[in-house]
A = this chain, B = another copy of it.
Amino acid sequence: MFELLKIDAHTQARLGRLTTKHGVIDTPVFMPVGTQGSVKALDPRELVEMGTQIILGNTYHLYIRPGLEIIAQAGGLHKFITWPGPILTDSGGFQVFSLAKIRKIKAHGVEFRSHLDGTLLFLGPKEAMEIQRTLGSDIAMVFDDCPPHTATAKDVRAAVERTLRWAKECREQPRANGQMVFGIVQGGSHAALREECAKALVQMKFDGYAIGGVSVGEPEPEMMKAVEYTTPFLPEDQPRYAMGLGTPAQMVELVARGVDMFDCVLPTRVARNGTAFTRKGTVSIKAGFNKADFRPIEEGCECYACRNFTRAYLRHLLNVEEILGLRMVSVHNSHMYLKVMEDIRTHIAAGTFAEFRKEFIASYVPTQRVLSMRGQTMVRGADE
């Protein structure tokens, strides 16, 4: 189902093609996040127009609302949300360990209370796979134990052991017709644990492998290391997915380290605060300096927002809390992420990825948040 088309001569960047039941995906790929069955503020037409190849859904959120029965009656997640292309569903592991309250980790899953109304629920490998089978996603993720960055080495080891046991259980569950299942490598920033986890998962023979336990509050160098500790032990001919990452510059760096797939809530989340991504870094569209700036968010950008609206107008809309403002910054940011991936694919194909990477990183000014990630631990972000 995955064809490795090319490996870059100067980096570990890879060009690939992943065939799913709902369409072919060119990798490296960015997957917009539709946590609750909608990529925030965007409609399917806008997603298609900006070049979206695959979107994410979330087991935990969709299980709580609207619930499986409704989605099953609709004929699966694709039909329920009217998305014709591929969908990857996260297993809910990350959310159970980050969002849910009063949990008890048991042998075959986690007992937790809904973050919404306190309902007592249980999710484990069997349940997560059953839900994803009902959702009918093209790619299902195993149910893993995702510890926070602050976890002790002992806790991380326990999480790896649990993750492996649960991965095996997931592997044995029935799947939806044509559904792929990816394993998730845990192990924090411990090289030995990452290696052990990756090797054991590969023996179980999944359709692809994710690097989990990143985007959990770790400094940027540790994030990079977590990936570097893992990829050497993953099969070359299968897709690699770095979960929940990152900024555009981080994605370029991770592609250079051999990652094929990305998802991140940043493009739509920061848009709702009026922040736009550009090739030169982020810019606050709400800021006073855009008051009478009649240029688009980013010169040369071909997204609907940049083709039609000025910074001055978008600033006004954000300022008076008109929904069109956050809509258009969401359009721009998501388009920007997808376009960076398209450029990456073009450059890998042309053999110029190394130069592209160098220039991209040189002109991309990191935010204070990223700078602090490079120097110190940051607080784990709330889930979208």
Q: What 1/0 mask marks residues of chain A from 102 to 127 whose CB sits below 8 Å from any chain B CB?
A: 00000000000000000000000000
Task: Tell which of B36, B80, B304, B312 touches A320, judged by Cβ atoms closer than 8 Å.
Answer: B36
B-side contacts of A74, CB under 8 Å: 294, 310, 312-313
A97 at interface by CB-CB < 8 Å? no
Q: Is A292 in contact with B73, judged by CB distance below 8 angstroms?
A: yes
Closest 9 CB pairs of A and B: A66-B316, A38-B322, A41-B323, A38-B324, A36-B320, A82-B308, A65-B320, A73-B292, A70-B292
B-side contacts of A236, CB under 8 Å: none
Known contacts A312-B70, A316-B66, A316-B70: does B291 contact A324 (CB below 8 Å)? no
In whole angstroms, what is the CA distance A37 to B16 when docked? 45
Q: What 1/0 mask marks residues of chain A from 53 to 91 whose CB sits below 8 Å from any chain B CB?
A: 000000001000110011001100000111000000000
Interface centre among A61, A69, A317, A322 (most CB of B within 10 A): A322
Q: Is A80 in contact with B40, judged by CB distance below 8 angstroms?
A: no
A319 at interface by CB-CB < 8 Å? yes
B-side contacts of A361, CB under 8 Å: none
Q: Which residue of B lies closest to A116 (CB)?
A: B320
In whole angstroms, what is the CA distance A294 to B74 when docked? 7
A43 at interface by CB-CB < 8 Å? yes
Q: A-side interface residues toward B, CB under 8 Å? A: 36-38, 40-45, 61, 65-66, 69-70, 73-74, 80-82, 291-292, 294, 304, 308-310, 312-313, 315-317, 319-320, 322-328
B-side contacts of A44, CB under 8 Å: 308
Interface centre among A65, A309, A320 (most CB of B within 10 A): A320
B-side contacts of A294, CB under 8 Å: 73-74
In whole angstroms, what is the CA distance A69 to B58 when docked? 46
In whole angstroms, what is the CA distance A42 to B317 when docked? 12
A361 to chain B, nearest CB (A): 33
B-side contacts of A322, CB under 8 Å: 36-38, 40
B-side contacts of A40, CB under 8 Å: 322-324
Task: Tell which of B36, B65, B292, B317 touches A38, judged by Cβ atoms closer than 8 Å.
Answer: B317
In whole angstroms, what is the CA distance A310 to B70 when docked? 12
Task: Tell which of B37, B292, B324 touches A41, judged by Cβ atoms closer than 8 Å.
Answer: B324
Known contacts A66-B319, A291-B70: does B38 contact A80 (CB below 8 Å)? no
B-side contacts of A82, CB under 8 Å: 308-309, 313
Task: Tell which of B70, B309, B320, B323 touches A327, judged by Cβ atoms closer than 8 Å.
Answer: B323
B-side contacts of A41, CB under 8 Å: 323-324, 327
Known contacts A73-B294, A292-B73, A309-B82: does B316 contact A65 (CB below 8 Å)? yes
In whole angstroms, what is the CA distance A81 to B325 when docked? 11
Q: Is A323 in contact with B320, judged by CB distance below 8 angstroms?
A: no
B-side contacts of A319, CB under 8 Å: 65-66
Interface centre among A37, A80, A322, A323 (most CB of B within 10 A): A323
A160 to chain B, nearest CB (A): 33
Q: Is A312 in contact with B66, judged by CB distance below 8 angstroms?
A: yes
In whole angstroms, what is the CA distance A324 to B324 when docked? 12
